[in-house]
């Protein structure tokens, strides 16, 4: 099994998903089965092969520097779970 409980906890921490202790072994098993399965990629000879960066080769279009957006505070806050005085409010962040 390639993924142990500790790895699941670490990935969950990185992904900011709370995982109950009792769910960790099950998840470890599922992730292991997925990762063991993708492991077959190690058979492929990728020596000297460029990793893909854009699937359909195109130039990155650039826009001109003009203010064309903004001034929509109402829309920005419209779906907020907690908005106050024009701000999004979240539980206190300690720096």
Partner 1 sequence: MTALAYTEPAPKVIAGLKDDWELVIGMEVHAQVASKSKLFSGASTAFGAEPNSNVSLVDAAMPGMLPVINEFCVEQAVRTGLGLKAEINLRSVFDRKNYFYPDLPQGYQISQYKHPVVGEGEVLVDMEPGVGRRVRIERIHLEQDAGKSIHDMDPAMSFVDLNRTGVALMEIVSRPDIRGPEEAAEYVRKLRQILRYLGTCDGNMQEGSLRADVNVSVCRRGAYEKYRETGDFSHLGTRCEIKNMNSMRFIQQAIEFEARRQIAIIEDGGTVDQETRLYDPVKGETRSMRSKEEAHDYRYFPDPDLLPLEFSQAWVDGIGASLPELPDDKKARFVKDYGVTEYDASVLTADVEHADFFEAVAKGRDGKQAANWVINELFGRLNKESTPVSESPVSAAQLGGVIDLIAKGDISGKIAKDLFEILWTEGGDPAEVVEARGMKQVTDTGAIEAAVDEVLAANPDKVEQAKAKPSMAGWFVGQVMKATQGKANPQAVQALVKQKLGVE
Partner 2 sequence: MDELSSMTIAEARDRLRARDVTSREITEACLSEIESASALNAVVTSTPDKALEMADAADAALAAGDAPALAGIPLGVKDVFCTEGVRSQAASAILEDFTPTYESTVTAKLWDAGAVHLGKLNMDEFAMGSSTEHTCYGACVSPWRRAGDTAPITAGGSSGGSAAAVAAGLCLGATGTDTGGSIRQPAAFTGTTGIKPTYGRCSRWGIIAYASSLDQAGPIARSVRDCAILLGAMAGHDPKDSTSADLAVPDFEAALTEDLRGKRIGLPKEYGEGLGAEMQATWDKGAEMLRDAGAEVVEISLPHTKYALPAYYIIAPAEASSNLARYDGVRYGYRAELAQGDGIVEMYERTRAEGFGKEVQRRVLVGAYVLSAGYYDAYYLRAQRVRTLIKRDFEAAFEGVDAILAPATPGPAFGLGEMEGDPVQMYLQDVFTVTLNLAGLPGLSVPVTLASNGLPLGLQIIGKAWDEAGILGVGHALEARAGFTAKPERWW
What letters, b where the CB count within 10 A reaches 16 and e where it falls short, cover 12-41? eeeeeeebeeeebeebbeebbeeeeeeeee
Determine if 44 is a binding residue for partner 1 (CB under 8 A).
Answer: no
What does 71 bind: partner 1, partner 2, none (CB cut-off 5 to 8 Å by kind)?
partner 1
Tokens 């920005």 belong to residue: 76
Candidate list 41, 43, 48, 86; residue touching partner 1; CB under 8 A: 86
Q: How many residues bind partner 1 (CB under 8 A)?
A: 37
- What is the enclosing helix (H) or strand (E) of 84? strand 83-84
Do residues 22 and 8 lie in contact, with contact meaning Cβ atoms separated by under 8 Å? Answer: no
Candidate list 70, 84, 85, 92; residue touching partner 2; CB under 8 A: 92
Strand partners, 83: 88
* Residue 68 DSSP one-character state: -
Q: Nearer to partner 1 by C-beta: 40 or 79?
A: 79
Give the binding site for partner 2 (CB under 8 A): 3, 7-8, 10-12, 14-19, 27, 30-31, 33-35, 37-44, 46, 49-56, 58, 60-61, 63, 72, 75-76, 78-82, 88, 90-94
């Amino acid at each position: 099994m390639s993924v142990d409980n500790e790895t699941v906890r670490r990935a969950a921490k990185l992904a900011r998903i709370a995982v109950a202790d009792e769910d960790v072994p099950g998840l470890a098993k599922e992730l292991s089965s997925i990762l063991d399965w993708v492991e077959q990629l190690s058979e492929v000879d990728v020596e000297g092969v460029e990793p893909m960066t854009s699937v359909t080769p195109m130039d990155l279009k650039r826009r001109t520097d003009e203010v064309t957006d903004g001034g929509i505070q109402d829309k920005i806050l419209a779906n907020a779970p907690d908005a106050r005085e024009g701000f999004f409010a979240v539980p206190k962040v300690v720096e």
